[in-house]
Homo-oligomer: A and B are copies of this chain.
Amino acid sequence: MVTLRDVAEMAQVSVSTVSYVLNGKKTVRPETLTKINAAIKELGYYPNQIAIGLKTKRTYTIGVILPDISNSFYADIIKGIEDTVHLSGYSVILCNTENDEAREMKYLNTLLGKDIDGLVFIGTGKTRDISGKFGSKPVVLVDRKFGNEFSSVSVNNILGGYLATKLLLKDSRDIIFLSGPVSVNTISERKIGYRNALAEACVAFNENNVIECDFTYDGGYNAITGILKEGRKIQAVFASNDEIALGAMRAMIENGIKIPDDVKIAGYDDIRLAAMYNPALTTIRQPKYEMGKKAGELILDMIVNKDGETRQVVLEPVLVERETT
């Protein structure tokens, strides 16, 4: 490994001179500059970030903790983060929790030891006491926030739920809400939006119309299959995410139900498949990439102006009408 010392020796100057030059913190006369640059090139020197980090307490690394990287929703978010922070020279450490609290805890500790400059956190929802650990470092909560002690970027889920429901109300007053686990606050907010739209249209809320199912394709499939077995008639479905919607559609198609002729359906998220599916799925688009981008900007901002101020940004979802409505 080539060190500053090697460069200094070759250029016949002191280590500190080279360091100052590298950081542009002091000026040297042209001829020394030439010698130093020559030595650097000759030796193929590149600075050791570990040593720099030890000295400066800046690692140019941020941690990103999320539930599942193979879920395109989170993949798009982290892409937004990475795209943004890499422009300022930051690297991203990926931590995939699989919604496992123990694993999440472990990552939190690892990241602390690694002296990251900031943390973007999309929690499992089970761990909430990260303040004790990361109290002093910049933290941005994405999608799922809790409390107001950290910065956050989220989407207006109430509005999203409202928009989808309102659209469906054009054709039907009997709308099934395929809910994910209500313990996730984004879901319960979408439900509020659903209820608001109903209320606005003077449609009574019917608890039988909300079916709680798994947050997956199979979850949606099973839910609809179940309803149909009961002999219940379906007019419209608002699924709390696109995967559920797709599973639901598959169940309907298998039962000879025509979409959108017989039943209308709307999803949530606008994952890649939504537009590609046949029929293409009407959905509420979440600005996933922008969420990541915003989170990246926030964390960068907090790192440079370490004023400890927190900011809450909430983005707007948008209704995307396609073939299922």
Which residues does A use to contact B, with CB under 8 Å?
46-51, 53-54, 59, 61, 64, 68-70, 72, 75-76, 78-79, 82-83, 86, 89, 91-96, 98, 103, 109-115, 217, 246-247, 249-250, 253, 272-273, 276-278
Contact = CB atoms under 8 A, between A and B. Distances in A.
Nearest to A217: B276
5 contacts: A69-B69, A69-B79, A69-B82, A82-B96, A91-B93
3 nearest A-B residue pairs (beta carbon)? A49-B113, A94-B94, A70-B75
B48 A50 contact: no
A273 B59 CA distance: 39
Copies of the protein in its oligomer: 2
A272 to B, nearest CB: 8
A278 B276 contact: no
A78 B54 CA distance: 29
Contact of A114 (B49, B75, B95, B273): B49
Contacts of A96: 79, 82-83, 86
A70 B79 contact: yes
A83 B277 CA distance: 30
Given A93-B93, A94-B93, A69 B59 contact: no
B273 A50 contact: no
A46 B112 contact: yes
